[in-house]
Amino acid sequence: MPEIINSVIFAGAGPGDPELITVKAQKALMEADLVIYAGSLVPKALLMWTKKSAEVFDSAGMNLDEIVRMIVSAHGNNKKIVRLHTGDPALYGAIYEQIRALEKYKIPCRVIPGVTAAFAAAASMTMEYTLPEISQTLIFTRISGRTKVPEKESLESLASHQSSMAIYLSIGHTEKVKKILSHYYGEESLCAVAYKVSHPDEEIHYTKIKDLLKMVQDKKIARQALIIVGKAVGMTKDGIKDIKSQLYDPGFSHGFRNKS
């Protein structure tokens, strides 16, 4: 990625663990004069990488205009600025509107990717979403709520594929999610709820889809949770089938190895 002089950096903080931030984002935080972080989701522990002289602001109580004004002012004073988002900024990060607003002031921006919660959850579960001949597709989505989802991307439509699926920002609509997943995956199928992934109080709960709502209510999970569904969940938890890829099959040749 070409370096742009004094560009505003939109950086992914990762799912919560300060050590899961990328080296590039860590360096950006260490050099920043101003850090605006999404405090509703980004733990303060991530700020350990900032220098003592840096100004640090939580954007949880700020609106778009306030964020933009702060960045414009700091950029005018030639300060290095990091806008720190949870997970990966490209996924439910609301960076589009911020970058377009800054373009009006001819302020350059660049983005540093981060680890999204679905991958941190899979790591905790030692799960592979794309099991050979079982599932080769992973869908990131959310259910329609206050933020509307295009009709063609409705959870009903996507669930009909029965692929691996990580459902973000939907734990408050668990009853509706359960009904949809029961229809397409089967109520006896296993799913997982990953709460505060990679945080010190992380919880991974497995449950049959028919019991999803009760489990969420019993555990009092109301936010910061993913619902993960698909055959890979049950196969990882129960280990019910020995699955091997072609990649390491001794009878399979590829560009780096001849078959035995």
Task: Mark which of 80, 112, 144 sits at the end of a domain.
Answer: 112
Q: What angle do CA 101, 102, 108 make, to 5 degrees?
A: 145
Structural domain contains residue 126: yes
- Average pLDDT on 249-258 reads 56
Q: What is the dihedral of CA 156, 158, 159, 163, to 10 degrees?
A: 180
Instruction: Look at the block and give the residue holding tokens 């003592």.
Output: 52
- Average pLDDT on 68-88 reads 97
Answer yes or no: is pLDDT of 2 > 50: no
How do beta strands 190-195 and 225-229 pair? antiparallel
Residues 131 and 108 in one domain: no
Task: Mark which of 112, 138, 157 sits at the end of a domain.
Answer: 112
What is residue 35's three-state secondary structure?
Answer: strand
For residue 30, the enclosing domain spans 8-112
Structural domain contains residue 3: no
Residues 185 and 136 in one domain: yes
Structural domain contains residue 233: yes
What integer pLDDT is reported at residue 147 of this predicted model?
86
Structural domain contains residue 144: yes
- Average pLDDT on 114-130 reads 97
Rounded-to-integer distance, Cα 142 and Cα 152, Å: 13
Task: Mark which of 112, 134, 159 sits at the end of a domain.
Answer: 112
Check which CATH number belongs to the domain holding 29 and give it: 3.40.1010.10
248 CB-near residues (< 8 Å, 6+ apart): none
What confidence tens digit (pLDDT) does each residue in 230-247 have? 999 999 887 656 665 555
Residues 83 and 100 in one domain: yes
Residues 200 and 128 in one domain: yes
Structural domain contains residue 252: no
Residues 124 and 180 in one domain: yes
Residues 106 and 194 in one domain: no
Answer yes or no: is pLDDT of 72 > 60: yes
Measuring CA to CA, which residue among 87, 137, 139 is closest to residue 114?
87
Number of domains observed in the structure of the chain? 2
Residues 133 and 107 in one domain: no
Is the pTM for the entire model greater than 0.75? yes
